[in-house]
Amino acid sequence: MLFEAFLSSTAMESVFSPTAVVQSMMDVEAALARAAARVGLIPAPAAQAIASLCRAELYDVPALVAAAPRSGNLALPVVQRLRETVALFDPSAAVYVHRGASAQDLVDTAMVLRTREALRLIDDDLQQLCARLLELAERHAAVPLLGRTMMQPAQVISLRFKLMNWLMPLLRSAERLREQGQASLLLQLGAPSARWTRWATAPRTCWRPWPPSCRCRCPTCAGTRSATAGCAWAWRWACCAATSASWRRTSR
């Protein structure tokens, strides 16, 4: 806790808080269940029962975190507790909790969701900083400033020139951060090895309609749909692709 006060922020700390991480895991489980139901891998009522209980406030988050070291990761206690809770309300649906995914899939995809939110906060801060520098540069365009070279006084420059030299690298870095974020925030769906044979022999089916604002291509029908980037569409895409013999794994 030595550096958090000045190297982070309250908003960023909340992004990776235990409750936020557990909620992202629950979001993944809910999306996985809905996706599996849409392509006929699990019954729709079971998916609805699972998704309705994927809310972190229903669970003792500190107890889940405390159980993580014994399990080796946070996914196992989360899945176990979710399965037990689903069984209380719909015993027949409990067997479909976490169906087709591994613990690594759950942890990695949940952290991708958290990282996406963290990148959004960083991007917001960068935009505010750039806007402030631009405002100062316009306001002080004619203010003279002594330039330096080799730590020695040189010709006179403007404060605007100095501020713009701070601004331009920040703009480039912000753009690269957005590009790398888009390229790196990938779904992890390795699945338990036993699932691959079962999925490879499943009937071909295509999930339609694609969710709304990201361009993606269905490996089964080769059609392109308009969709919203996020956990739900990614899992639906994965389940759709899993029914195709030409399944391509997205993993590290």
Domains in the chain (CATH in brackets) are: 4-99 (1.10.275.10), 123-184 (no CATH), 193-242 (no CATH)
Q: What does the pLDDT read at residue 96?
A: 96
Q: What does the pLDDT read at residue 241?
A: 37
Phi and psi, residue 204, nearest 5° = -70, 135
**Residues 6 or more apart whose Cβ sits within 8 Å of residue 157:** 144, 145, 146, 147
Q: What is the pTM of this model?
A: 0.74
**Residues 6 or more apart whose Cβ sits within 8 Å of residue 153:** 146, 147
The stretches in the chain having pLDDT less than 50 are 197, 199-235, 237, 239-252
- Per-residue pLDDT tens for 194-230? 555 454 444 444 333 334 333 334 433 434 443 333 3
Are 174 and 127 in contact, with CB atoms under 8 Å apart? Answer: yes
Q: What does the pLDDT read at residue 94?
A: 97
Q: What does the pLDDT read at residue 195?
A: 54
Q: What does the pLDDT read at residue 184?
A: 86
